Amino acid sequence: MTDIHIRQDGHAGRITLQRPRALNALTYDMCLALEEALWTWRSDPTVKLILIDAEGEKAFCAGGDIAEMYATGTAGNYSYGQRFWRDEYRMNALIAEYPKPVISFLQGYTMGGGVGVGCHGSHRVVGDSSKIAMPECGIGLIPDVGGSYLLARAPGRLGDYLGLTTDRMGPGDAIHVGFADLYVPEDAWPGVKVAICADGNLAALSGAAKPAPASRLQAAQTRIDALFGGSSLQDIVTALKQDDDIFAKDALSKLSRNAPLAMACVLEILHHLRTGTCDIRAALELEYRFTSRAMEKGDFIEGIRAAIIDKDKSPKWSHDLDAVPEADIAAMLAPVTGENLAFEQRGTT
């Protein structure tokens, strides 16, 4: 298929996203093709590592292609989105648990579904253009594709801050927070890719890595921990309203644009992961509790309408910012009663 180029290059299994005009947005077929390739190479002794990259300068992958979800969801067909998420999450877990090195090169925008492809591997490479974020709360969804797992493991309350504000990380931020591992100047990327494919080891990659740029979020860690330390969305909103400095006002402004139900559920998921089992599968299962209900019972359809379809940027959320009932959070995160996630290879269950 033309949207994704899958091939073996020397000792590397290579996956290149090639929808640059769509910022390499991930389609359902691309998810399935990527997963199939990973299973094929998993037991192939001639493939020593996996290299994932993308065409174009603007984006590694700016998210999932959600137009079809809107079309099916508004028609009352929620099963398409549920199937998409189940298959996508299985692919995300496969990357995170892969027994061979998985190297991703994350230029430009890496957001949402792009994080699921690019930020769970063993060697996540960023450069000066890298902008990484989990913007889902802005469209009534939650940070998913295993994003909650990364956010829950972030230092202090940076995960809460990033999940609720949808703030973007530069290369230094991404490394500090745990979404990336290595900073390599982007003019060195072509040579590094050629070298690691040719010899099947990572010496050229480690040799090209440079000290990471300073992290804005690391510098703001103390403020973020204090403002986002509350156990509920209402706690955090109250703390932000009571603090009149520029940072707090900016954070409150960001929260005010996003879906309150989604943000409240993000916090609940992060707290659950921090106090219980925190691994990729546990995170994906919690995320699916929300996403499987997001179209029918959440704000996802309205969020897509406002941001992508009508583009009026004025979503009518189902809750006020400081008034999300506990019962509504519990309903969105209750165990799934229908078909749930399975992590085995597709077609083997």
Q: Is residue 348 part of a domain?
A: no
**346: pLDDT confidence band, cut at 50, 70 and 90?**
confident
Q: Is residue 347 part of a domain?
A: no
- Residue 254, H or E segment: helix 246-257
pLDDT in tens, 249-259: 999 999 999 99
Q: Which among 139, 138, 137, 133 is positioned nearest to 151, based on CA atoms?
A: 133
325, 265 contact by CB (below 8 A):
no
β-pairing, 102-106 with 131-133? unpaired
Q: Is residue 342 part of a domain?
A: no
Q: Is residue 261 part of a domain?
A: yes
Q: Is residue 191 part of a domain?
A: yes
Q: In Å, how far are 13, 56, 95, 103 from 196, measured between CA atoms?
A: 11, 21, 19, 10
CB atoms within 10 A of CB 63: 25
The enclosing domain of 39 has a CATH number of 3.90.226.10
pLDDT in tens, 186-233: 999 999 999 999 999 999 999 999 999 999 999 999 999 999 999 999
For the entire predicted model, the pTM comes to 0.97
98, 90 contact by CB (below 8 A):
no
Q: Which structural domain range is residue 82 located in?
A: 4-332
Give the integer Cα–Cα distance in Å for 315 and 289: 23
Strand partners, 59: 108, 109
Q: Which among 22, 42, 215, 182 is positioned nearest to 114, based on CA atoms?
A: 22
Q: Is residue 254 part of a domain?
A: yes
Q: Higher model confidence: residue 66 or residue 255?
A: 255
Compute the C-alpha angle 325/140/172, nearest 5°: 110
DSSP calls for 260-284: HHHHHHHHHHHHHHHHS--SHHHHH
Q: Per the structure, how many domains does the chain have?
A: 1
Q: Is residue 346 part of a domain?
A: no
Give the integer Cα–Cα distance in Å for 211 and 184: 9
- Which has the minimum average pLDDT: 59-68, 96-105, 266-275? 59-68
Q: Is residue 339 part of a domain?
A: no
